[in-house]
Structure 1
Amino acid sequence: MTKVWRKGLPFSTEVAPLLAAMPLLDEYREPLMRLQGAWDSLALLGQMSGAATDMADTRSAFEALTGRLLDSLARRQFANAVQQLQGRAQVAIDILVRNLFERTADVGFLAADGPLKDLLAESARPDRALELDAFRESVRQRLADYVAKYSVYDQVALLAADGRCLVALHPDRCAPVVQDERLLRALDPGQAFVEVHGPSALLGGASGLIYAAAVKADNGTMGVLCLSFKLEDEMLGLFRALCAGVPRSVLVLKDEQGRVLLTSDPWQIPLGAPLATSGREQGFRMDFAGRDYLACTATASGYEGYFGPGWSAQMLQPLQHAFAEAPPQRQEARARGVDTRELFDEELRSIPLEARRIQRELSRSLWNGKLKSRSHALHAPHASHGAAPPDTAFPAAGALTSASTSTSQGRTPSNADFAVTLLNEVERTGDQLRQVFERAITQLEESALGAVFDTVGFQSELAISIVNRNLYERANDCRWWAQDGRLQQALAQGHADAAAEVLSSIHALYTVYSLLLVFDAQGRVVAVSDPAQAHHVGRSLQGEWVRAALALRDSSQYAVSSHEPCGLYGEDGRSPCLVYAAAVPHPDGPVAPVGGIAIVFDGQPQFRAMLRAALPSQPGSAALLVTRSGEIVASSDERWAVGAMLPVPLPALSTLAPDQVVTGEVEWQGRVQAFGLAMSGGYREYRRRTPPHPQDLAALVLLPLGPRLDETAQSQGQASFVPLAPGGARTLDIASVLVDHQWLGLPAAQVLAALERQRITAWPQAPAAVRGMLGFEGRMLPVLDLGQLLFHRPTGDECSLLVCRTSAGQRLVLAVQQLGQVFQAGTDQLQPSPTRPGWAAQAQVRLLKGKGAEMLTLLDCDDLWRLVSGAAPQEPAGDLPLLAAD
């Protein structure tokens, strides 16, 4: 990845120009740079005194990690901002294209409407001029009835081939003659429809999006039917919903030349403004009118092979707001205790590992420095040797000293004292660096998790929005098709073939249905749209929806089935489905209906396509459509069976209010899943302000986070040992380590050095707790795994290695989880272990007094050696200073 230098650190080229707009970076950069300066000062003091270990490698590692950390933080902020903008821009254009696809079908269907064709034929007869006005008014009322069901249109007009307006829903807005070659192209042979955007005489000179299709009367007269879509009404409402929660953002719709057709904020981005697209769609910096924006552009994904007029959506946010610190999450406890490593890219996942490696190396360096300094103190001329009290000393006790000796004799601080002080300051500075890294990494994790929960909530809201818009069209279709005069006549006269022909022509335009059918007043199927399903003809339909449809007397009403098998869907008819139905009125007027029309929604592929359109990009995510009772209506993949009950508990599902969205987490198949749940609230006139019902639909989006971590092990691993202050004159130097999340210690005099991670040579005949052999100062030493030896759980590969020696001079290497502190403890703080009496028979174990994280178990290297080798106790080596007393 190419990097450029900014503020003394390397950053990726995609984020380097945006750093000035990211205040969060300075929040971490400044303390890190200050600590780096303190580190340099300490390193200089160490070199001048000769007391400190070489810190150059550690300093370089921290510096490199600082650059990686801040770059990752910048890229994460950039990715979150782009994901938010890009997702909303994509939703805007895709919802529009799905909506416009329905318009292409509507104009084709209405162009075949009988009264419109009759009006066109009558307009060609000069002798019918007097009767034409009354006929025109009846057709205009029919168009008003149509728009009452399809409220997405603001003008419907029938034009003659020469452009004369024969009838219009709003005649005061339409010119008497519409000379618009773009609309009249619908008369060209083979032209199914045309879509025209811009000013039109059809709309009184106003701009609009018009769909036009040819109408052919029975006498051969040609005309053009025009439907004007409420583009601004539809998109501005959608823009408001998508911009909510994104401060100062602007959503625009652009034409093929990049000019703004619609804008959510004309004060920032006005209509007609030319906007750059850039070479990439996902996230680029754009200057407009002297203001810097982060911009994302989205083109249509397409629906049923239709891609719309070639427009695109672009979302912009001023840079000064794009990376502002997000408000605190409303549920801060989300995803705590979850292994979320799969959410992060490889470099981001490696930062905590690298930080731990640097910390281990720092701890090793400090360990060796402190051990060396304490070893010098033990051999100092002022120290006298003597015997330790028998109740506090180990058989080969470890470096007991008098804490008061140096001060009582008026001795000035030695170079060793300065070295220990310096190393303690290095340790404190390293700990501060670690804390800054941990805070930054926590910020990255919370940022990533916050983006996950925002994503599942937004995508669930998107999914139910797409479903609502789709089912709105289904409710409209059945009501309007019931008004088709051809179907009314066919049912009244029992002409099944004529009804089947009409149904087939409608089905060819509306491809989202599995089957269309009409039934008589007794509920028997008269005709179907698909000849392959002609076996349904003559069948008596059952179900509450059939009785409800036949009981309707208002053309604005419809019936819908529960999502259940009804014998009309699937290869065996047993698949659950939704059926929308309406009463077909008698052609002679307001008498009992002659039957009904039912449209079987092809739910399995259609719902699946809707859910997949709303699916997050992360692997393993899933989207479901469920009822309040938890029945699965549709699923984006095969893991969730349609018709089954939801296997994860969602208490909010039964009580969630319409249009409400909640997010949270559930466990499924051993993994924690972030979920977004959005309850349907309808769309336009469809199911708006209806009381909650068991068959209400909700969209559920799931995204896997990772397995649940062991909370006990997690809390233990995060604990740090806090030694008690020495309480008496006699002290013991202790080197502490963590093994299997428990704090242990060894007399510091028994520890020679902490090693870097090295290759261990296998030893096939060794005891189970011995990992193998390791070379140190020309000798091969056994490597003893303390986790395996003491707790029967091996220490992992990321272990620390300590070279130790017994009182007899034997050397061995101990593998531990991590290094702790080297500190002094008073001998009066030692007590026999109350919990391991069986252990004490083999290895002498002592505890420091204290509770919880302050408890430490003290081991002895001689006893560890005997546990592994079975060797008898050895006489102390004369050159090994074990005891020192007043």
Structure 2
Amino acid sequence: MSTAPSEVTHPLRRMLPHMLHVTENRETLKSLESVWDVLNLLGQLSGTTTEMGDTKSAFASLTASLLHNLALTTYNKRVQEIAAQAQVAIDILVRNLYERTADIGFLAMDDTLRDFAAAELAGGSPHRAEMVERLQSYVRLYSVYRDVILVSPSGQVLARLPDGPQVESIQDPLLDEVLASSAPYTEAAVRNDLFPGESRNLLYGTRVLHEDGTVLGALFLCFDFENETNRIFQGLCRDGDWSVITLLDDENRVIASSDPWQVAPGAVIAAPYGDGHLTRFAGASYLTARHAAQGFQGYMGPAGWSALVLVPLAMAFEQGGDDDDAEAAAGTDAALVRAILRNGTTFSPTLQAIPAQADAIQKELNRSVWNANVRQSAAQKVAVNAALNPAFSKVLLAEIVRTGTRMKEVFTRSINDLQTMTVRSQLDDCQFHAALAMNILDRNLYERANDCRWWALDPLLRGLLAATDAPEREAQLGARLAAINALYSVYDSLLLFDAAGVVLATSRPELAPLVGRQLDAGWCARALAVQDDSYVVSAFAATDLYGGRPTYIYSAPLHNDGGKASGGIAAVFDSAPQLEAVLSAGLPRSAGAFALFIDADDNVVASTDANRAAGHKAGLPAELRAAALEGGAAQLIALDGQVLAVGGRGSSGYREYRGTEGRAGQRLLALVCVPLCANDGQHDEVAVIEDAAFVAGTVRPASAAAAQDTIDIASFYVGSYLLGVPAAAVVEAIPFGGVVRLPNASDKLCGATIYQGSTMLLYDLHRALGVPARGKREDMLTVVLQGAGGRKFGILVERLGGIPVVPVADIAPVSNVFVGITPILASVVKSHGGPGGTALTLLAVEKIAEMLNQAA
């Protein structure tokens, strides 16, 4: 039996029983090795001697390498998937929470809210219902909030949304912390008196201050944590996926779970950070990945929070059925996959070498069997072994070749599976990250659409806009816009304009020349025409409000008491760094990866690739763009001399924001591209699959052998020509090598080599026949022949054919068939040929020997 090294190394060995396709390949190869053991034994008993020992050991070693690569690729693919889920889950949440840190600061500046708190502090206000309505007007524009609560310094609940618990007063450590803090906000995920009976809520709090600095109370925004995490989980979970996405706090406690039946909130899981760990939980083993947030704009999220993805080890490596196989084949061009295998770094060097190693082993096996058949033919003719059964030997040798061919087929199929799995994994990864980039952009623009509507509710801005004769109005408006812009750092600038579209104030002093300017952009007129609390957004286009660069401008009207627009506020999105940051967040960890936002017409909106700057064409196939807009696409493409894995996803919106199509009149899509290799443009030749029976020789019935004279022909290929010589003239086939070129010799003489201690000349059939070589010279074979005088010489061939038994009557001299043919061709076999009808032409052995002697 084989003494091959262990196929799969630790720690993969523990996971191997759960990788069914690896186990199936292992069992198939082991069964073939067992068959080979039986054939080897029969060969020894029958006297059929072939050099099978080294070939069998080589196959066993290749089996170990193949199975290890199968297991490693399967493991890496799964770990990559859950690692991406973990990182994305925590990063999307942190980006969302970053916006909350700005909202709490803006809302605490609301003069109506501050006046109400001051009146309550002075002895009570009769306008609580109006205050509740005002809070509701804010939350109607932002569905991410569960509640907004204003609390007095003594703990009295002054106002909150009507759907929240109606608690009159609280004595809570969180209130004391907020009142004592001068920080812009306090973030806390705690059990508190505002929500009695609940385990914890995520709250953002800040002090409400009078103009003179007096503390009027505390304002709390309660984030709708459960709703948001469910949305995140739904976007990351795939159909049929057993993975569970969880969020952990700083004490390793589960605070949210995509599958509470498997992993319940409140459970404690001490899983390590990093990817691909085996973690024990609730009596079962899980493959896990745990990641902390990467942060956004310097904000890292609640302290110690992380995302942990768990997948039961028993189900971690489940393979799909036929539908999944068909899906895996989609988007993978076979020629591009072969280019990746030849030139790319996607596959390990060991994996890249397996096909060539399998071919070399099979070629060596065929040579051994061919030599054995030659020996059998010679033994039969001279009757040196009366106990030998030539017919049995030929059948045995044919079966050896068939077994080797089946092993090679297993290797080929497994390599194809690996190729498909690896490339599909790359494509899935690209599509996943494209969807992530688009999701982040939609969420980002959701905030932009709502921010301008929030600011349009600000009583100070409304009051100053209506008071046309107020002294220092421009300065007060500018100060307010600057304070808002400081909270919301994703904007380049904010503008306030009147009902005529004239700029009244800006958030940045350097933009003061804009004051008094008439805005003639279409978005300005549309904003002033809005009758409700909606907004407008410009097309993504160059504007002098952003230094001549393209961006989005979000705008909402400020209505007076009569319901008419007295002006509007415009937010100039700082698109260049913000879109690049979104794209960078969506990049996979593959070398050279880049991402783009493009429109439906292939125009680049934003890019992380310097060679594909905004305003240029991306150059991507129209069918890929169309499929991405319809719901997502991924495929291999050839672009700019490279093979790229490309994934795309169109904008689909987030919550009330319906994406980039409606109000802006544009449809964006995100594309993530990973260069896999140079596109060398080579087209692999289709390998000639030699029929096992033809290689092993043809077995004639005894009656046919007795009926006519026959001769065994040893055949081989030179270019596309099938040539042969009588098997009795063949000594053996050996690898080509060790040849020394002789000076002043004929070009038909390859040179000389040492064979069995003597000098042997080699004849170049390619030059003699004028046939170009189809492979590398070092990969060819030398067929050693022996002339009538007993002197040995060699001929250079590309690969071996069969050793058919040919009736002498079927052999016709070449002069009867062709005129003016080269003298080294002796005759043609009329009844036999190679695959595809190739004629079998016999060489003139003695003529070649004579020409070699003359050439030497």
Same fold per TM (> 0.5)? yes
1:6–1:16 Cα contact (<8 Å) kept: no
Q: Kindly tell me: are residues 771 and 579 of structure 1, through their superposed partners in 2, closer, same or farther at Cα, counting changes over 3 Å? A: farther
Which secondary structure state, in structure 1, belongs to the residue aligned with residue 596 of structure 2? strand
Aligned-residue offset at 1:423: 2.2
Greater mean deviation of Cα atoms: 173-182 or 787-796: 787-796
Aligned partner of 2:39 among 31, 37, 42: 42
Moved more, 224-233 or 156-165: 156-165
Separation of aligned partners in 2, 1:119 and 1:718? 88
Report the equivalent of 2:187: 195
Verify the 8 A CA contact 1:51 1:416 in the aligned structure 2.
Answer: no
1:855 to partner: Cα distance: 3.0
Name the structure 2 match of 1:373.
376
2:316 corresponds to which letter in structure 1?
A: A
- Deviations along 1:121-173, one digit per CA (max 9) or x if unpaired, are 222323xx2xx131x33222221111111110001112223332222123751
- Give the secondary-structure state (helix, strand or coil) at the position aligned to 2:613: coil
AA of the residue aligned to 1:565: A
Identify if the C-alpha distance between structure 1 residues 566 and 765 changes in structure 2 by more than 3 Å, giving closer, same or farther. farther
Match 1:24 to one of 14, 21, 39: 21
Aligned residue identity for 2:776: G
Aligned to 1:184: 176
Aligned pairs for 1:201-240 within 5 A: 201-206=193-198, 207-222=200-215, 223-240=217-234
- Amino acid corresponding to residue 595 of structure 1 in structure 2: G
Say whether 1:349 aligns with 2:349: no
Tell me the alpha carbon deviations over residues 568-588 of structure 1, each in whole angstroms, 9 at most, x when there is no partner.
22xxx33221111111223xx
Once the two structures are superposed, what CA deviation does each residue of 1:602-629 show, in whole Å capped at 9, x if it has no partner?
A: 2222222212222222233332212222
Secondary structure, aligned partner of 1:9? coil
C-alpha distance 6-849 of structure 1, shift in aligned 2 (>3 A)? closer
Residue 378 of structure 1 and its aligned partner are, at CA, apart by: 3.9
Corresponding residue for 1:303? 296
SS at match of 2:101: helix
* 1:71 Cα offset (Å): 1.7
How many angstroms does 1:369 deviate by?
2.1
Indicate how the Cα distance of structure 1 residues 285 and 645 shifts in structure 2: closer, same or farther if over 3 A, else same.
Answer: same
Residue type of the alignment partner of 1:257: E
For residues 691 and 549 of structure 2, the distance between their equivalents in structure 1, rounded to whole angstroms, comes to 59
The 1-side partners of 2:276 and 2:369 are apart by 46
- The residue that corresponds to 2:165 in the other structure is 173
Match of 2:604 in 1: 632
Correspondence 1:530 to 2:508: yes
2:819, 2:574 → 1: CA distance?
A: 71
For residues 653 and 687 of structure 1, the distance between their equivalents in structure 2, rounded to whole angstroms, comes to 20
Q: Report the Cα offset of residue 119 of structure 1.
A: 2.1
Residue 560 of structure 1 pairs with residue 554 of structure 2: no
Specify the alignment match of 1:451 in structure 2. Answer: 425
The verdict on how the C-alpha distance between 1:92 and 1:795 changes in structure 2, with shifts beyond 3 A counting, is: same
**Whole-angstrom distance in 1 between the partners of 2:751 and 2:150:** 91
Over 3 Å counting, the alpha-carbon distance change for 1:648 and 1:417 in structure 2 is same
How far apart in 2 are the matches of 1:57 and 1:226? 77
SS at match of 2:335: coil
Instruction: Name the CA shift for 1:755/1:307 in 2 (closer, same or farther; >3 Å).
Output: farther
2:657 maps to: 686
1:89 corresponds to: 86
**Which string of whole-angstrom CA distances, capped at 9 and with x for unpartnered residues, describes residues 794-843 of structure 1?**
62366132234485756245262x44444445567778999x98994576
Q: Give the C-alpha shift of residue 472 in structure 1.
A: 0.3
Query: What is the aligned partner in structure 2 of residue 854 from structure 1?
Result: 836
- 1:174-217 per-residue CA deviation (whole Å, 9 max, x = no partner) reads 53223222343234454222211122222234221111122211
Q: In structure 1, what is the equivalent of residue 476 of structure 2?
A: 498
Q: Of 411, 415, 423, which aligns to 1:441?
A: 415
SS across alignment from 2:55 = helix
Q: Does 1:255 align with 2:249?
A: yes
Q: Structure 1 residues 631 and 121 mapped into 2: Cα distance closer, same or farther (>3 Å)?
A: same
- In structure 2, distance between residues paired with 1:769 and 1:524: 92
Which of 789, 795, 806 matches 2:775? Answer: 795
Q: Distance in 2 between matches of 1:768 and 1:162?
A: 107
CA distance in 2, matches of 1:676, 1:637: 16
Aligned-pair Cα RMSD in Å: 3.7
Query: What amino acid sits opposite 2:652 in the alignment?
Result: G
Task: Confirm whether residue 423 of structure 1 aligns to residue 400 of structure 2.
Answer: no
1:666 matches 2:637? yes
Q: 95-104 vs 669-678, which deviates more?
A: 669-678
Any conservation in 2 of the 1:843–1:859 contact (CA below 8 Å)?
no
Deviation by residue 1:762-785 (Cα, 9 ceiling, x = unmatched):
779788888776443342645848
Question: Alpha carbons of 1:846 and 1:470: their partners in 2 closer, same or farther (altered >3 Å)?
Answer: farther
Query: Structure 1 residues 77 and 590 mapped into 2: Cα distance closer, same or farther (>3 Å)?
Result: same
Kept in 1: contact 2:250–2:305 (CA 8 A): yes
Distance in 2, matches of 1:711 and 1:447, equals 23
Q: Deviations over 1:583-606 (max 9, x none)?
A: 1223xx125323222212222222
Q: CA deviation at 1:426?
A: 1.6
Tell me which residue corresponds to 1:482.
Answer: 456
Shift in alpha-carbon separation, 1:158–1:506, aligned structure 2, 3 A: same
- Seen in structure 2, the aligned counterparts of structure 1 residues 39 and 194 have a Cα distance that, compared at 3 Å, is same
The equivalent position to 2:686 in structure 1, one of 711, 715, 722, is 715
Query: What are the superposed Cα offsets for residues 471-492 of structure 1, whole Å, 9 maximum, x if unpaired?
Result: 1001011111122223233434
User: C-alpha distance in 2, partners of 1:264/1:472?
Assistant: 24
Q: Aligned equivalents of 1:179 and 1:762: distance in 2? A: 100
Deviation at 1:517, TM superposition (A): 1.8
Decide which of 295, 316, 332 is 1:322's aligned counterpart.
Answer: 316
Report the TM-score, using the length of structure 2 for normalisation. 0.87
Aligned residue in 1 for 2:526: 548
**Cα distance change of structure 1 residues 58 and 365 upon mapping to structure 2, 3 Å threshold:** same
Q: 1:252 is paired with a residue of what secondary structure?
A: strand
Aligned to 2:363: 360
Pairing 1:754–2:733 present: yes
Deviation digits for residues 739-765 of structure 1 (CA, Å, limit 9, x no counterpart): 66x463332546543334645557797
CA contact (8 A) 2:750 2:764 kept: yes
CA displacement at 1:101 relative to structure 2: 0.9
TM-score, normalised to structure 1, is 0.84
**Aligned partner of 1:157: which letter?**
I
- What letter is aligned with 1:566? T
Q: 1:66 aligns with which of 55, 63, 67?
A: 63
Are residues 312 and 30 of structure 1, via their aligned partners in 2, closer, same or farther at CA, if it must alter by over 3 Å? same
In the other structure, the counterpart of 1:884 is: none
Tell me the distance in 2 between the aligned counterparts of 1:850 and 1:109: 91
Counterpart amino acid of 2:362?
Q
Query: Which residue matches 2:796?
Result: 814
Q: Does 1:460 align with 2:460?
A: no
2:250 partner SS: coil
Q: Say if 1:249 and 1:172 are closer, same or farther in 2 by CA, change over 3 A.
A: closer
SS of the equivalent of 1:202 reads coil
Kindly indicate whether residue 568 of structure 2 is the aligned counterpart of residue 596 of structure 1: yes
- How far apart are residue 228 of structure 1 and its match? 0.7
Determine helix, strand or coil for the equivalent of 1:313: strand
Q: Deviations over 1:350-378 (max 9, x none)?
A: 22232222222222222222223223334
Match of 2:453, SS? helix
Question: SS of 1:271's equivalent?
Answer: coil
How many aligned residue pairs are there?
824
Letter in 2 for 1:329: D
Q: Give 1:511's match in structure 2, choosing from 472, 476, 489.
A: 489
Pick closer, same or farther for the CA change 1:828–1:235 going to 2, 3 Å: farther
For residues 81 and 744 of structure 2, the distance between their equivalents in structure 1, rounded to whole angstroms, comes to 59
* Cα distance in structure 1, aligned partners of 2:748 and 2:476: 87
User: What is the aligned partner in structure 1 of residue 282 from structure 2?
Assistant: 289
Distance 1:448 1:788, change over 3 A: farther
